[in-house]
Structure 1
Amino acid sequence: MRVIGLMSGTSYDAIDAAAAELSLDGDSLVLEPLGLVSEPYDGELRAALAAALPPGTASVAEVCRLDTLIGQAFAAAAVRADRELCGGRAELVASHGQTVYHWAEAGRVRGTLQLGQPAWIAEATGLPVVADFRPRDIAAGGQGAPLVSLVDLLWLRGRPGTPVALNLGGIANLTAPDGTAFDTGPGCALIDAAAHDFSGGRLAYDVDGALAARGRVRAELLERLLAEPYYALPAPKTTGKELFHVGYLHEALARAGPLPAEDVVATLTRLTARTVADALRTVGATEVLASGGGTRNPVLMRLLGESLPGVAVRRSDELGLPSDAKEAYAFAVLGFLTAHGLPGTVPASTGARHASVLGSVTPGRNGPRLPAAAGAAPARLVLR
């Protein structure tokens, strides 16, 4: 089955559309990557989305407007991926949507909201669309994240030692071979917020880690940030920009006094490296396979490596899974599993009472056109 996976993460800079040929072969799920296209949000839509995200607020009217506009943007990305990567022969679209709120209280997730109305994708492509993946796991008592943990476990099964998959997006998360999976805290979220804030909106992120490279870590600010209670919570746990947003940064800086932008970004980069490394040590990582936008920050990757002596830290590209496209491929896999009636969660990873078939299906032009339910869930992921 040829599937397009659509993803926009907590950095909300672009919509990634990855196409894959997926098939079941005995107890293996075979994935042949077909490529990635990335569609940046236009400036007006990105600004409206930024204003709606915490600590901002949005009216019901604005939520409705964003749901439509993001759905149309996702539809355009899917049409382009079908044309350029699939030759017009895609059979299914799996859309994560754009997370705008993840409702967590006292370590429990009570709800989540991803915008990007899938009807626009189905109408534009004519294909069935699997979307709204997270709520089913939450209804079963889980955190609704990190959902890529199932794909990580299938992918890393059989590797020696304790290989751990790490995603360095706006929020960082990891998956260990025993099924332990959780958000470690901010990946690039606070770094991006500082770069944007100090540059007056000119920079969306610390390009090539240039600001961090010029700055020095401020120990007092770092210690204050490390006192955040989230880091001490037990797994499974999830977080997002509901906590780690620009207002959170402003509050920390107000108590630190005026500091150069370079020093703030250097300190935040060290914070991410430190909290991620601490989390990786708790699961006994002997090898780290990293993906996500943070892997393009050489300062962050260097600090992470220095914090984990004796542990190989490499990008997922080295194992054949493109780091920039990994999450989009993961949702293509989850959509494929849903289409075959197979669960897409690991209870040990999300804390749910049981594994669940995820998402809701929006029929395509000719109805759902889904395959017959498969018998057994795959035991491993094979990259072709």
Structure 2
Amino acid sequence: MEHYDIIIIGAGLAGLTAAIDLRKKNHRVLVFEKNTFPNHKVCGEYVSNEVRPYLESLGVGIPHSSANIDTFTLSTINGKTITTRLPLGGFGISRYALDNLLYEKALASGVAFIFQAVDAIAFEDSFFEITTLKGQIYRAPFVIGAFGKRSNLDKNMKRAFIAKKSPWLGVKAHYDYQGFPENEVALHNFNGGYAGLSKTETGAVNFCYLTSYKSFQKERNITSFNEKVVAQNPVLNTFLKKAKPIFDEPLSIAQISFEQKKAAEDHVIMCGDSAGLIHPLCGNGMAMAVHSAKIASELIDKYINENGYDRQKFEKMYTLQWNEAFKKRLWAGRQLQSLLLNKGVSKLGMSLIVGAPGLLSRVIRATHGQPIV
């Protein structure tokens, strides 16, 4: 039976960032991940600059080829648009590239990886025992859950949100579309959902949308849904007609849940989407995942190195700091989603925004954080 200081389950943005940070603090770290690198994931692929200083402090340099984004465009179902400058800006980079960059950094730092699925998590006498599907067991006093939006481990842990059916489906693909501005991230409303567009480090445009099953099930497949529903927005109609798909088939993910989750559950510290998922329209889920890894890493290091810092206090402190960083943003995201997906309210909201240009900037600031160092 192998022992580590920290075991991380899931090698997405949160898991990999936490692994790099904790290894930099000289802890023995093991990461479990089902898939090898590199790979594509359903994601908006826009990262707010709020986390750039922190990533650079970990030795993770953002590639110069990443799109430098400073402008946000929003459109209603009928194609009425408004554009504003982003307070902090950000960069466009694919998960294929960014996750692999973080993985190679973690590997070079001495983080251990096992590419297997975890079957069970057990906690007893201040230690976790992690059992893989192959029956192998690993021990550590700390476990970070970074297993994403939805996992079998959520079911095994009987987390409250997993018992509720979610009506959301996510779809993503890359396109060759030379007419799209390099510096823009755009959000376009359609009946039953909304789509994001932004450039990645390869020059490809990432087209990622969220839609309800109720809306999607009226059509036979993604192609039909794009043609008959998504393309009702004139801006998206132009994009779909002129852009050339790069992927053989779009990626999709079902049962995306925006229900509230606990930041610490069964003594496991949850990071990234495992702790809470902000609505994609807010455009900073990737930054939140990185930020949550920073909070978890600093508190775990503090607990290990300070006498009298008990586990209960540690879990309460993590939950408190997580809520301080993200709770208001999650609330603002829920309100914004309700606005955009309600036809009547959306039209009224857009009229208000057009009449008061500063309103959109205030909405953006409400769903984004300040630079973290």
Question: TM-score when scaled to structure 1?
Answer: 0.27
Question: TM-score when scaled to structure 2?
Answer: 0.27
